[in-house]
Structure 1
């Protein structure tokens, strides 16, 4: 496969995002709440004169909420359909190379993980679940559509 993957931790689980989908990794220090936004939208933030919609990955996966009250949060910045999003993660770990093609997940996962999973891949850091950024951005509302 030889694709690069960004290894992140979401809800205490090490997972991977395709690195070509990630524009940058940032630390967010300011979140502006958005009234009537979907529950997984943590708010808005600014990065280099552009507005980012901030997605709480834990809420998107229906695993609780990320505590953003302590200030700085790590996030992966992605673009989807011309809009920029910051995906709040617990931690950003490393960039690794995929050593295999995607394979189906052969274990039971929670509904949120199943919704965003694109498969498993082998890496030098061990097997990792690859997560679809569009699924994280869509949130739980995606399963109703």
Structure 2
């Protein structure tokens, strides 16, 4: 079964988001910080008079991040009636999956193990398929 995917780079890895979940791809200019929010939430930005919560995908994966930069691309998605802008290293194409997802192999780290539905073959090679809800939820809490 083929599925249309937004092909992108997240935290230096080739990734894909189900295109049906992506409302648009935008360039982020201004972000207003939200005091007291988790580190992976950069703040809020506006799109056509609607507030978007900006998520730093690298931090949501528990990885290092260079932070948001003016003009950085983001995928606009909706989760439970709320709009989010997922910061991407790059968004470069829409392509098709060439098969069904398989389990994410070891070596990608716990963040990707948690936030990926699996790996899927694309024209560009094996690609991590993003689980949007897990990414928006943020990094796995460390045990006390």
Q: What band does the TM-score fall into relative to the shorter chain? A: over 0.9
Give matches, 1:5-84, under 5 Å: 5-68=5-68, 70-84=69-83
2:98 pairs with 1:92: no
**TM-score between the two structures when normalised by the length of structure 1:** 0.93
Instruction: Give 1:143 deviation, angstroms.
Output: 7.3
Q: Conserved in 1, the CA contact under 8 Å of 2:115 and 2:131?
A: yes
Q: Conserved in 1, the CA contact under 8 Å of 2:11 and 2:65?
A: no
Per the alignment, do residues 113 and 141 of structure 1 end up closer, same or farther by CA in structure 2, a change over 3 Å counting? closer
Unpaired segments ≥5 residues, structure 2: none
Distance in 1, matches of 2:34 and 2:105, equals: 38
* TM-superposition CA deviations, 1:16-45 (whole Å, max 9, x none): 111111110000100000000011000100
Instruction: Give 1:103 deviation, angstroms.
Output: 1.2
Instruction: Give 1:142 deviation, angstroms.
Output: 6.3
- The alignment covers a number of residue pairs equal to 143
Instruction: Give 1:125 deviation, angstroms.
Output: 1.4
Instruction: Give 1:124 deviation, angstroms.
Output: 1.3
Q: Conserved in 1, the CA contact under 8 Å of 2:101 and 2:118?
A: yes
Distance in 2, matches of 1:46 and 1:9, equals: 23
**TM-score between the two structures when normalised by the length of structure 2:** 0.93
Paired residue for 2:102? 103
Q: Conserved in 2, the CA contact under 8 Å of 1:40 and 1:139?
A: yes
Runs of 4+ in 1 over 3 A off after TM superposition: 141-144
Report the 3-state secondary structure (helix = DSSP H, G, I; strand = E; otherwise coil) of the residue aligned with 2:36.
Answer: coil
RMSD of Structure 2 on Structure 1 (CA)? 1.5
Distance in 2, matches of 1:106 and 1:12, equals: 17
Unpaired segments ≥5 residues, structure 1: none
Report the 3-state secondary structure (helix = DSSP H, G, I; strand = E; otherwise coil) of the residue aligned with 2:111.
Answer: helix
Report the 3-state secondary structure (helix = DSSP H, G, I; strand = E; otherwise coil) of the residue aligned with 1:137.
Answer: helix
